[in-house]
A and B are shown apart, each in its own frame.
Chain A
Amino acid sequence: MSVAVEFHEIVKFFGPVRVLHGVSFALEPGHVYGLLGENGAGKSTLMKILAGYEALSGGELRINGRAVHFSGSRAAEAEGIVLIHQEFNLADDLTIAQNIFLGHEKRRGLLLDDDTMRNEAAVVLEQVGLKAHPDTPVRNLIVAEKQLVEIAKALARKARLLIMDEPTATLTPGETERLFKLIAQLNASGVTIVYISHKLDEVERITSEVIVMRDGRFVAREFTRNVTRHQMANLMVGRELSDLFPSKKTAAGESEQEPLLRVQKLTVPGWAHDVSFEVRSGEIFGFAGLVGAGRTELFEGLLGLREHHAERIELSGRAVRFRNPREAADQGLTYLSEDRKGKGLHVAFGLRENLTLMALKRYARPWLNPKGEQQALRTAVKTFGIRTGSLDIRASSLSGGNQQKLALAKVLHPDPRVVVLDEPTRGVDVGAKRDIYFLIQKIANEGRGVIVISSELIELIGLCDRVAVMRAGRLQATLDAEHLSEEALIAHATGTHQTGTH
């Protein structure tokens, strides 16, 4: 059984906001489609409609020529359509087998038939190439393995059309390779894949056709081999993307300056070991490494969020040691977490409360001054280019890119001397990425030290003056602008580099 999908003039409203404006296109069985678009282009909403998670407000969804109205994801699954969410839908406390059959448990009379479920789970695990026992609790799996469980779950439900939303966002290059092999394998067995990703190199590699959406509308579809990455990006943002990164300033003479932040032999037990580095005023200093290399944990240690010890830490020439982020902020060091919703922003709060939280003392004498806060918000909205209809909305109402700009404005509000930005463009569309790169450049030009932790090599190469590479908790090398290349970064990050540090 194959699934041919046709979207016909699909319209979707969220409240009074129209997010899809009559989208029409068709998906033939057996292809790997890349679905492209900036955040807010409507691609996720459209796919949620296809997978039964959202009801459409107008138009028609046709499966194999027949108009359907899915009452929920189970109805879509019955047609062989399964969506794998960016954030996985797995119950951590249950085993792999229990997760795979969650809601579809096999029974023998009144009791669960655990043996059958275990055996069938083992079959699909074999198919996706996950070497784990079906009785392993999902909690014990790493992210890449959880993703394989999600795919195995889809296979167990006889998926014929698999929608993957940003599947490689948290995978290492090796895990990504394995996923691509699996996708090719599934496709060869006749499964249609819809692949949503911001990573155009991946889209270029694995898809046969790309479909581009913008502002809730269908924009274009092309055979992947007929378009370049550059053309894809232009189609997504709807304008010539002449230059994603600001031009780097010449770094001449700056190395003579005293460093703003000097870290000597910082150890975060279990995560980072004897890491030393220096960041100068006006410098953008990158941190590269695979997921799990200990970069985030290193800086959480520096901030006092984790147990740590160091030979010496100096900020602006003074020896410091932070027991919590409060002390760090007071001394002029702030940190933007990679986990925007979990650690970065109060999404249920207004923009104003988010912006001023780290520097609230400034507005309290002792009564808070809402007018002053509102003025600060107005300034930040302009300075950071936060696009919002109203100033009196919750942070959750902003798009991902604008939330990130707000988070950036928040960690800069205490006027830090050094700011650490952990994955500053995660889950952000191309247009907002460019905005953020120029903001980071501007922050550095103000004389601050900027540390950028990123898993996107192109970003580090395009943005940073120097990049430190970490592997398994140790700093492998620090590369300056002349020696920055994808090959060098990957070699150090994976430990395949032969000649040692530069």
Chain B
Amino acid sequence: MTHHRNQHDVAIANVSRRKLLKGIAGTGAFVIAAQFPAVRQAMAYATGAGAMAHGVVTNPSVFVAIAKDGTVSIVAHRAEMGTGAARTSLPMIVADEMDADWTRVRIVQSPGDEETYGNQDTDGSRSVRHFIQPMRQIGASVRKMLEQAAAKQLGVDDKDVVAQFHEVVHTPSGRKLGYGEVAEIAAKLAVPAPDTLRMKKAADFRYIGKGGVTIVDLHDITTGKATYGQDITLPGMLFAVIARSPVVEGKVMTYDATATMKVPGVVKVVKIDPTPPPAAFSPLGGVAVIAKNTWAAMKGREALKITWDNGPNANFDSVSYKAQLEAVVRKPGRLERNEGDAEAALASAAKKVTAEYYSPHIAHATMEPPAATARRNDGKWEIWTSVQSPGGARDDIAKRLNVDAKNVTLHNALLGGGFGRKSKWDFAIEAVLLSKAMDGAPVKVVWTREDDIRHDFYHTVTAERLEAGLDKDNKVVAWRHRSAAPSFMANFKPDPKFPGEIELGMGFVDTPFNVPNIRLESGEAQSHVRVGWFRSVNNVAHAWAIQSFVAEIAHELGRDPKDMLLELIGPPRIVPAPEKATTAWWDYGEPHDVYPVDTGRLRKVAELAAEKAGWGRQLPKGRGLGIAAHRSFVTYMATVVEVAVDDKGNIAVPRVDTAIDCGFCVNPERVRSQIEGAAVMGLALAKYGEITLKNGAVEQSNFNDYQVVRHDEAPAVTNTHIVEHGLDVPSSGVGEPGVPPFAPALCNAIFAATGKRIRRLPIGNQLA
């Protein structure tokens, strides 16, 4: 990076929450301990963070700077897409542990640079899970250095000073120095050894676990000043939209841009070639129109005449594909987990219950459609965009340009929603290609909503078949589950046609049920679209099928669905990694001893949600309660949905109760907002979410034919019930786990209300 600091420059006026700065060096404040990077880490427990690309950085100089006036700058190194984790919760952890006054903290968004900041891939509900400990360590290091600096300045013993709320106090004399007054000396000290750090006790936290801190961008968001990728404006900037191949792997055969070039404002038309599979996040083939404003580019695109070669997916049809997948799960598949002898137990069962479930492709439809701006100056590239993995995007772009990553700067703006879509940076590559075509002039690529709906990396389509065998006492003794879904791994290697361990690990091979004979199989499924990951990924389909099936068994036996669920979860225990699993037990990349599958915790959230929802209460005709419990991303979640179905089959959700166990909870206020949002997203995918394809092309285009939940139909009240833990229970994330239990709880509630069982999503007009 650039020069580290100017010790005499205490101006912090350039530290703006709105500006995208080049890391903390741009703050003009004292960067804490630039010279002595900490190498070891003070972790109370191990996490999967170390196995992520570039792991964890705990050097305070990378994350904290203090100006003479006491303003503390803290780096947000991950992407902020609305959970509040990146720009509020993680910096808040640093601030609390260094005992800073949050009102005197400014947030500096880092560029994409994992070598400097550690892993930035904001995905998998990992931010708090992986970074609570490093952020505490950074905060505690700074606190200790401020104390040492104050002792030095006052000429007193280290042990007689204590940092308290932005001041260091000499206890015997009561003398005080502000953080800003000791920052210059602190900046020259070595980072203390991790084992000498004194971490706060939970009872001493001011902000962590309290929920009293609002998100740092709240004022900017409510005044229109918050800046997203779509909002980037540079002097002399050009605007581009792209006509992309309607079919994946398709390419431009011929095009005529005569009419396009006559549109006032259109500057250039550029053909983009597709990358043969596996294409990772390469742009689709197409024709780009570059213009002086977005509107001219859009009009120019409309005037293009393109003949497409639709390639090998030209005949793909999602209706026949559904039938194909359903046929696959009716036959034996690839064995993924095998305990006991489910085949024999099913054959000798006193009673059998069988059901099949289907859930379609869905689109992410982030409120902000993808956008990116790129420019080259003196051989150095700059990109402004909104991506979940700014470091990964920057390194990939450098590789594609065949330049040193040091010559590529990626500024990451706020994300107007991510949900997994913005883990894929195809739009940033497009911007770079088009800027290159314009000799490095700044070009912003704007995706329209139609582009977004038609050219997404879609949530996978899944067919599932579940069979349960019951003995003469109506105990479930056999469980066979077959699942078939095209794999997102087809982006990265020749289509494996079977799910990978990550996909299987999401609510499938980790099925926590207390059944002696379990057999799990996956079926062959080829990918014909760009499959991506969507908030909570394969857990959505797996949880929907499994949790619906539990209620189906309960109904078959005339039992209460909650009791049936608890019986299947079984007594509190740690579920061992299945010995006969033929697939590695991924479990979100976390060590099993730190984040075990604990059925006691799963039971607890199910019981808590049921209790808070008033499970069993009398409801008027047309109303019903449904329950589902699911562990995902090492967080335990249970949801009870109350549904009201009128005589026309219209669904209303007057109330949702969700219980969550995410270990030690850092920001309960933002946990609640995630759970409330997950209920809306869960309702949207259950009610409406469906992408269909005909002749290889997506049939939906905008919010008219790809509907999402609106204000009037959203759950009226979502109550969040957080299981409280101390710091001894490792924290886990909450961005994703709220989604999976919603759809099955809803469908179970619909069954309770109407007697109609939903086995195909979306619900659409099935109740009409």
* Bound pair (A, B): no
Mark B residues whose CB is within 8 Å of A. none
Interface residues of A (CB under 8 A from B): none
